[in-house]
Amino acid sequence: MKSVLFEFFSPFLVILSVFTAIISSYIALVLTQKINGANRVQKRTLTIFAAWAVGVGIFTMHFTGMAASNPTIRISYNPLILGGSLAASILGAYGAFYFLYFKNESKWKSVFSSLLLGAGIFLGHYIAVLAVREQMDFQINLLNTALSLIMAFVFSSLATRLFILAAYSKKSIARKSISAVVLGLSVAVMHYSSTSGSMMELQTEGRALNYADYSLLLFVLTMILFMIFLAVFFAVLDYRSLASEKQLQETLKESEERFRRLVELSPEPIVVQSDGDITFVNQACLNLVNAQTELDLVGKRVLDFVPKENREAIKQRISSMISGEDETPIEQKLVVPGGKALEVEIRGARMEFEGNPSIQLILRNITEQQRVRRKLEESEQRYQSLFLHNPEGVYSMDARGKMLNVNQALVDMLGYTRAEFGSLTFHEIVKPEFLPETIRNFELALKGTPRNYELVGIHRTGDSVPFHITNLPIIVDNEIIGVFGIAKNISKEKKAIRLLEENEEKYRSLFEQNLDAVFELDMDGNFTNVNHNAEKLTGYTKQELHAMAFPALIAENLQEVQQTFTLTKNGKSLRSEQKLVDKFGKQIEVDVNVVPMTRQGRVEGAFSIARDVTEKKRIEKKVNDLAFTDQLTGLPNRHWFYENLSKTAERAQQLNRSLAVVIIDFDDFKGVNDLLGHHGGDLFLQHVSERIKNCLRPSDRLSRHGGDEFIVVLEDADENYLERLSRKIIKEMNRPVILMDHDLVVTISIGISFQSNCTCDAGMLIRQADFALYSAKEKGKNNYQFYTDDLNEKATRKFQIENALRKAIDNGEFLLYYQPQIDLQSNRLVGLEALLRWQSPFGMVQPNEFIPIAEETGLILPIGEWVLDEACRQLKEWERLGFPLIKVSVNASARQFRDPNFSRKVDGILKKHQVDTRFFEIEITESVMFDVEEASQLMEELRKLGIKIAIDDFGAGFSSLTVIKNISIDTLKIDKSLIDDIIGNHRNLAILSAIIQVGKNLQTEVVAEGIETKEQMELLKSFNVTGQGYYFSKPALPEQFEKEWQQEKVWSQQR
């Protein structure tokens, strides 16, 4: 027959099961109440017992509840599984208590505890059901089971909250009993709600109980009775404890009341805080922080009054006070209401206030004390800084003069160590001759009188060290106990005084013995001192000069002199030339140096040093007249012109004035010289210079530039005036000059450079006027031309060429081309002419363009030297390569021949390259021979060096025969102009034949230049001369020349 469990219940056993749950809950509440305040071991023991009580109570209640269901049915249990039910209940309760009392504060702590307790109750019930040995059908109502689980968690949460309150509160037995009833009923409700969620039907009738079943029942009843006993026992103990505690609380309350009154009336500010919140403050604390009532402070956090940077440290200190680890006083800054900062000393102690664990903080206002302490520390630091770091020596002595303390500066000054100073008195480190005065000043300081004096100390090495000493009394409690000393090393000052005395002596010697006149003036220009030479220069005595000011001696330009003196008073040294007037009215030219007279960086007057330069000026004027005056015409010469033009151009730029340069050149002055001779030519120039001068304004400056060239510089003139002036001068020059019974009319050409706003330098103005002059001559002479934009391109080209020429050698832009000279009879190479070519940055420039510019600027000298050097180098290179030696000809300009060192330079180049001079020839033109005597001497020097001399372009000038008549030559080179028209021109052929015959008669080699056709070559071949020209070869580079002539021509074998 089938029987259904949980179909109906025995009321008695149900009540018994509920009673069992209530008793176990009571025991657990009593045990957990004792956890707070217990140590860790005690906590663990109480937790185990409480968990045992709850677990056994849950198990007993479940077992009794199982027995209460259909009590007529006899059910047997498996003891092991039943033991598992008991273990699940105990472990669930222990886990819940462990999380509550041993884990840190967390919002999840009570949740985990509730889950563990509910799981223990739930598992305890269902494991107990599984312990039934009889066969049964077990059916679960999911809804009721889910509700039982929810209720288990809800009532477990309630139980957890009750256990938390039990641990931190003191309750009476009645309140504990009520809590126990609530907990017991909660457990019972969870049990019976779980049984309602399941139904078990036994498959067989209940059997009779065996011995084991009775033993189990006996065990359960024993547990119930034991728990009842424990409950009664703990209730009695709890009653006694509560009674005693009540009495103690009353006593404590009275004590707290007395303590509270003492605290409230205490003069010390007191604060009580619990969990970081202020719970109590006394009146002294309110007064300290300037609060009106307790409400201004109570309820606020202590850390709110602590600066942010200190809050963490204070928080840790309060924790230390709570745990009893550190109760030493601390000093802390507080910020009270109103923002005022206070410094306080805080002492803390644990206490219980109104039933809560708290910390009592006793405050002591140490703000003023700290201020005084800091002031003392600052004072001590200042004293230490003054004493130890003072650059002067600082020391202290007792009343006997023994050194007590010294700073490092004094150690450095005297060389003793601090330890050595400690064994010395001042008597041992002061020179004996200064000791009596030192002792007297020391004794006066001991009597309270500060003293300043000087002495000489003794260095550890024995050297003397001068000091300035200050002695001050050391006063302690109105009693003088010693002397402070400050020693300043005055070695530098003493040395400076000696130097000052020496300098004063030197100054007096320099002032009085100076060969120049020296005046000392105050800021008003009055003479305060003068030397003997000043008296001699001015004729006044020293006393007379002391009563005068410098303006009385100034002969002219007084305003400028006064401006100079003003600048000197502002600290500037100036030099100038002035005219003085002496006592007798005689003017004296002086060179004056005026320098500020300073004392301590402040100008207090001036020194004026005057040197009589009257005689010097007279001589300079005479020399200047000779140097800057043309001796023939009396006009300024070219040296004066260049110096004056630069100044005039600079002045015109500053004043924004126009400036013009007019160059006047006679068209045929050479004819006058030829007609009248040099003396007649000089008379002519004197006459015409006066005519030109009479045409000019007084401000226009005329100078003779050399030969028959005159230049006029005109400021502030316009083009109309320049045109009128030019026409006037041309007209004057067209009038005959009657001289030495001759009526002479020599026309002139005028070139004008005009700048309405002067913006270029003097050199450019002259070049522009030159270009204009050349333009006037090209246009038929006897006219004037302005420099215009039409001439600018030509001028710019010339300027570019001139600038580029200056860099051409350094940039390696020059090249030597070589043109062969051929023996027309044998067709053999007998010589080469070196021809200069220039590969400039703006292209190849022809020699006829750049050579005249080089001549004009003087650049032909370094260029000519380069040509000589390169030709010699190439000649030596051909010799090294094994070519037979042949003659190389190099052109030399007239400018080079005027160089007195020309022959020495040529000799140096030949020796440098070790060239055989038999194969080196220098070509000159007729223009070199204007000074035949000088040229002949130079050519003779060259011939002595073994160099051959050739006359180039023979027949092109008017004095060719005169040249060869007066000098010895080796080669005669016929100009190309005589070769061009010999074919079919019998006149030219006759002239050529005559020239060739002259050369042969002089036993010179004759070279015909400019052969360009075969007909010319064949004709000249009959004259047995050497030929040169494009017919044979154009000028070529050495490399091209070597290749061409190695392949096609035959080298001469002459050596």
What CATH number is attached to the domain comprising 1020? 3.20.20.450
Query: Do 809 and 782 share a domain, yes or no?
Result: no
Task: Report the pLDDT value the prediction gives residue 838, as an integer from 0 to 100.
Answer: 95
Task: Report the pLDDT value the prediction gives residue 201, as an integer from 0 to 100.
Answer: 55
Query: Do 566 and 481 share a domain, yes or no?
Result: no
Can you give the three-state secondary structure of 930-991, one letter per residue? HCHHHHHHHHHHHHHCCCEEEEEEECCCCCHHHHHHHCCCCEEEECHHHHHCCCCCHHHHHH
Task: Report the pLDDT value the prediction gives residue 37, as an integer from 0 to 100.
Answer: 57
DSSP state of 524: T
Residue 939 located in a structural domain: yes
Name the H helices within 324-391: 367-388
Question: Cα–Cα distance between 892 and 187 in angstroms, integer?
Answer: 139
687-691 contacts at long range (C-beta below 8 A, 24 or more positions apart): 687/737, 687/739, 688/733, 688/737, 688/746, 689/633, 689/634, 689/635, 691/729, 691/732, 691/733
- CB 1043: neighbour CB atoms within 10 A? 12
Query: Do 928 and 989 share a domain, yes or no?
Result: yes
Q: How many domains does the chain have?
A: 6
Query: Do 486 and 531 share a domain, yes or no?
Result: no
By the 8 A CB rule, do 636 and 647 touch?
A: no
Question: Cα–Cα distance between 844 and 841 in angstroms, integer?
Answer: 8
Residue 629 located in a structural domain: no
Q: Within the chain, which residues score under 70 in pLDDT?
A: 1-10, 12-14, 16-17, 21, 25-26, 28-40, 63, 65-77, 99-114, 117, 131-265, 323-327, 355, 379-380, 383-386, 758-760, 795, 926-933, 956-963, 966, 1044-1055
- CB 345: neighbour CB atoms within 10 A? 15
Task: Report the pLDDT value the prediction gives residue 374, as an integer from 0 to 100.
Answer: 79
Give per-residue pLDDT as tens, 280-294.
888 888 888 888 787
Q: Is 597 left (phi over 0), alpha (psi -120 to 50) or beta?
A: beta
Residue 308 located in a structural domain: yes
Task: Report the pLDDT value the prediction gives residue 206, as an integer from 0 to 100.
Answer: 45
Which of 841, 831, 719 is CA-nearest to residue 772?
719
Where a domain ends, among 371, 400, 419? 371
Contacts of 523 by beta carbon, 8 Å cutoff, 6+ apart = 569, 603, 604, 605
Residue 499 located in a structural domain: no
CATH of the domain at 751: 3.30.70.270
Beta bridge partners of 920: 888
pTM for the whole structure:
0.39
Query: Do 15 and 127 share a domain, yes or no?
Result: yes
Query: Do 44 and 146 share a domain, yes or no?
Result: yes
Residue with tokens 């002459």: 1054
Residue 635 located in a structural domain: no
Residue with tokens 């000799």: 907
Query: Do 572 and 476 share a domain, yes or no?
Result: no
Can you give the three-state secondary structure of 449-468, one letter per residue? CCEEEEEEEECCCCCEEEEE
Residue 1053 located in a structural domain: no
Question: Cα–Cα distance between 412 and 407 in angstroms, integer?
Answer: 9
Task: Report the pLDDT value the prediction gives residue 153, as an integer from 0 to 100.
Answer: 62
Where a domain ends, among 371, 404, 431? 371
Give per-residue pLDDT as tens, 1021-1039.
989 999 999 999 899 999 8
What is the extent of the structural domain holding 282?
266-371
Residue 246 located in a structural domain: no
Reading the block at residue 867, the tokens are 């040509």
Query: Do 220 and 84 share a domain, yes or no?
Result: yes
Query: Do 459 and 566 share a domain, yes or no?
Result: no
Query: Do 783 and 810 share a domain, yes or no?
Result: no
Query: Do 72 and 103 share a domain, yes or no?
Result: yes
Query: Do 809 and 952 share a domain, yes or no?
Result: yes
Q: SS3 for 893?
A: coil
Question: Cα–Cα distance between 665 and 749 in angstroms, integer?
Answer: 5
Residue 210 located in a structural domain: yes
In sequence order, what E strands does 613-682 have? 659-666
Q: Is 601 left (phi over 0), alpha (psi -120 to 50) or beta?
A: left
Contacts of 922 by beta carbon, 8 Å cutoff, 6+ apart = 889, 890, 891, 892, 906, 942, 947, 948, 949, 950
Where a domain ends, among 201, 229, 257? 229
CATH of the domain at 521: 3.30.450.20
Task: Report the pLDDT value the prediction gives residue 183, as an integer from 0 to 100.
Answer: 66
Reading the block at residue 306, the tokens are 């602590």
Task: Report the pLDDT value the prediction gives residue 687, as an integer from 0 to 100.
Answer: 92
Percentage of residues of the chain with pLDDT beyond 70: 76
Task: Report the pLDDT value the prediction gives residue 155, as an integer from 0 to 100.
Answer: 59
